[in-house]
Amino acid sequence: MYAQMVETGVKSVKSTTEMSSEEQAFQARIDAEIKIEPKNWMPEAYRKTLIRQISQHAHSEIVGMLPEGNWVTRAPTLKRKLQLMAKIQDEAGHGLYLYSAMETLGADRDEEVQKMHEGKAKYSSIFNYPTLNWADMGTIGWLVDGAAIVNQVPLQRTSYGPYSRAMIRVCKEESFHQRQGYEILLHLMREGNDAQKEMVQDSINRFWWPVLMMFGPSDAHSPNSAQSMAWKIKRHSNDELRQRFIDQTIPQLQILGCTAPDPDLKFNEETGHWEYGEIDWTEFFEVLKGNGPCNKERVAQRKKAIDEGAWVREAAVAYANKKQQRNAA
Amino acid sequence: MADWTLFEVFIRSKHGLNHKHVGSVHAADSEMAIENARDLYTRRNEGVSIWVVPSASITATATDEKEALFDPSDDKIYRHAGFYKLPDEVGHM
């Protein structure tokens, strides 16, 4: 979801007899729910997969600031503007918690950011969609952050200690994001005029399917799931999380007085779950390949921020050196 | 970022409590590390005091020394209060 289709580089999960004694001890530790810490021995594939997963997660938080930043200067009131800025600052914070966790695996932050700029590392597909109206700020908080919460809550128990601790911090803050988003929509639906209500429905119509895609392809098409589950860096299947999200979201959708753009959506009395229509995975894979509506714009904006901020970072070092020399004198 | 130093961040969440490790930040110097740690780790009243320490200055126990270092205390149960059985009439001690 925030990390989609993370490659493990492993063709099939090793059985205990195929493992070296170090691998067996490592797997036993994971099976016993004992966290793996930076200095513990770990298989190279575990380290690399985690770097890919955590960096992708971090890049998503950072790129995720862009669609929201689009509305800071146009927020309808000062109150909404302050809330939006606080949320965006949180996303930056979440990105930094995650980059720190990634660095404990020996990865270099600059190099990993560079990989994203070169298109070698991904970020969540959802941030390649444009934010066209103010209601999109509500929909992102409610649905996008809502989907993120469903994914991140189980990741608090992930096997890698620093990742788990970063997730615990992130989850504490996400609930503000979701509630502020839902409140934006509720306010528009309850106090708004017809045009404002239509704006909410239009926003939900555009984001509904891309949000469901955030959880990644169906279990049958997730070749990396088995290894990631064995390592406990993924704790539930994509379909399971998607179902959990839909079941908790539909009642909230009804309270808003809105609908989902899915004619096949219906409640199954027997299973107690909502059934949903076919997801257009062609669109998902196109967006991942870089052909979504905003891929080029997002990456270009991130590169620009890094390049044009270079002088600030250099000046900070020059100033720190000067201060040090003055103190030494 | 490459020429910035990595600092570990410790926060005292309330007066009277210990500083606790919360994560790390990059910064050009310790003063900037404090500012970055303030923005990153105390956006919601999480702390009343911050320490930053260059990560390279921390010496830690090695994982393969765990048994050698910590096992010797396993069999010293006489170091715990509960080891000493006293008659009920003594009451709480």
Number of domains in chain B: 1
Q: How far apart are CA B27 and CA A216, in angstroms?
A: 36
Q: How far apart are CA B40 and CA B46, in angstroms?
A: 10
Query: What's the one-letter identity of residue A122?
Result: K
Whether B32 maps to a domain, the answer reads yes
Q: In this structure, are residues B15 and B48 in contact, taking their beta carbons and an 8 Å threshold?
A: yes
Across the beta sheet with B5-12, what order do the strands follow?
Answer: B19-27, B5-12, B49-54
Beta pairing class for B5-12 and B19-27: antiparallel
Considering CB atoms only, which of B4, B31, B40 is closest to A96? B40
Q: Please tell me the predicted confidence (pLDDT) of residue A132.
A: 97
Q: Which residues of chain B from 7 to 26 reach within 8 Å of chain A, CB to CB? A: 23-26
Question: Cβ contact (<8 Å) for B28 and A109?
Answer: no
Q: Please tell me the predicted confidence (pLDDT) of residue A14.
A: 83
In percent, the amount of chain B with pLDDT more than 70 equals 98
Average pLDDT over residues B59-63: 85
Q: What's the pTM value of the predicted model, to 2 decimals?
A: 0.92
pLDDT per residue over A242-296, tens digit each?
A: 999 999 999 999 999 999 999 999 999 999 999 999 999 999 999 999 999 999 9
- Neighboring chain A residues of B35 at a CB cutoff of 8 Å: none
Whether B14 maps to a domain, the answer reads yes
Whether B68 maps to a domain, the answer reads no
The angle, 0 to 180 degrees and rounded to 10, between the axes of the packed helices A161-191 and A194-213 is 160
Task: State the pLDDT confidence band at B43, using cuts at 50, 70 and 90.
Answer: very high
Considering CB atoms only, which of A40, A89, A313 is closest to B1? A313
Question: Cβ contact (<8 Å) for B32 and A320?
Answer: yes
Where are any strands of DSSP class E within A23-112? none
Task: State the pLDDT confidence band at B1, using cuts at 50, 70 and 90.
Answer: low
Helix (H), strand (E) at residue A275 = strand A273-275
Mean pLDDT of chain B: 91
Whether B78 maps to a domain, the answer reads no
CB pairs A-B closer than 8 Å = 48
Q: Please tell me the predicted confidence (pLDDT) of residue A300.
A: 97
* CATH code at position B50: 3.10.20.520
Q: Please tell me the predicted confidence (pLDDT) of residue B80.
A: 92
Q: Please tell me the predicted confidence (pLDDT) of residue B58.
A: 94
Whether B73 maps to a domain, the answer reads no
Positive or negative, the Cα torsion across A237, A238, A240, A244? positive
Whether B71 maps to a domain, the answer reads no
For B16, the domain range is: 1-59
Q: Is the pLDDT of residue B8 over 80?
A: yes
Q: Please tell me the predicted confidence (pLDDT) of residue B2.
A: 64
Q: Which regions of chain A are under pLDDT 50?
A: 1
Nearest partner of A126 among A182, A242, A208, judged by Cα: A208
Beta pairing class for B5-12 and B49-54: antiparallel
Best probe of the A interface among B5, B20, B44, B59, by most A CBs < 10 A, is B44
Whether B54 maps to a domain, the answer reads yes
Whether B35 maps to a domain, the answer reads yes
